[in-house]
Amino acid sequence: MAFDLHEHLHKMNRLVAAGSAFVVVTMVEARGSAPQIQGAKAIVTRDGIVQGTLGGGKVEAKAIVHAQEILDRDDGICCELITWNLQTEIGMTCGGEVRFYFEVFNREDWKIVVFGAGHVAQSLVPILLRTSCTVTCIDQRQVWLDRLPSHPRLSKICTDDLKGQVKRLAAKSFVLLMTQGHSTDLPVLAEILANHHVPYLGVIGSQQKATVLKRNLKELAISAEKIESFFCPVGLPLGNNTPAEISISIMAQLIQERDRLRIVNHKTKAF
């Protein structure tokens, strides 16, 4: 079957728009009796192969399984170059080797949850969406949520029960609290610190607000260790107090912490 670039790109675009995770598998090298030519491509989702072919048979079956395993891993690897011996690793009688390049798309390992859709969130969320992450924004005000852009990687939740949304936090979520003020930030902050663990927790506000929050948390019997575990003021110490520059300072801190914690691995794994 001839490789159809137009159909390949069209399928990729549809999967991206739908927010579906997938792997593009490319045969970059073949030696011996390989079932396809160099450059053959296939698109694989958790449901199986959806576009293209790697030649069928045992080689393609192994590649599909491996691609699906990559989608279900949480090691952050987004690219992988792997070589298989057709006889010893594929189980074929013919000799030779095949090398495949697995490239992951839409498997968003970096999840960011923003409580509050106010002025800073309006500036920050579009910046976040330019990176490889999924964003959830939660607010009591539908009108503010509606001002955020529509995007396949952005979920908007309108609710009066901000604290109740904490139990829905996905593992390894980065959480930012920038609601309408202290009275709405504190219940969410206390619930996270008391009953959940997230790798990053930031609260927008001044050093004075941080002092008051910590005093309130102590009164709620939150441990001293947890009280010192969140960022407030949030963001790196740069820029001014405009929403745009606050957003840039927050974005910089999020990336810094993401990389420090190795939430997303940018390296290619090769065997």
What is d(CA 237, CA 107) in angstroms, rounded to the nearest whole number?
32
Asked if residue 74 has pLDDT above 70, the reply is no
Reduce the DSSP state of residue 217 to 3 states and report it. Answer: helix
CATH number for position 165? 3.40.50.720
Least confident of 82-96, 121-135, 212-226: 82-96
Give exposure, 75-92, as e/b (b: 16+ Cβ within 10 Å).
ebbbbbbbebebeeebeb
Q: Could you tell me if 63 and 48 are in contact, meaning their C-beta atoms sit under 8 angstroms apart?
A: no
pTM over 0.75: no
Structure-model confidence comparison of residues 253 and 265, the more confident one:
253
DSSP 233-254: S-S-S-S-SSHHHHHHHHHHHH
Number of domain units in the chain = 2
The terminus-to-terminus CA distance of the chain in angstroms comes to 29
Domain assignment present for 267: no
**Other C-beta atoms within 10 Å of 111: how many?**
19
* pLDDT tens, residue by residue, 149-206: 998 789 999 999 999 999 999 878 999 999 999 999 999 999 999 999 999 999 999 9
Domain assignment present for 120: yes
Domain of residue 94 covers 5-105
What is d(CA 127, CA 135) in angstroms, rounded to the nearest whole number?
11
Domain assignment present for 139: yes
Domain assignment present for 271: no
* pLDDT tens, residue by residue, 34-43: 667 888 999 9
Do 160 and 231 lie in a common domain?
A: yes
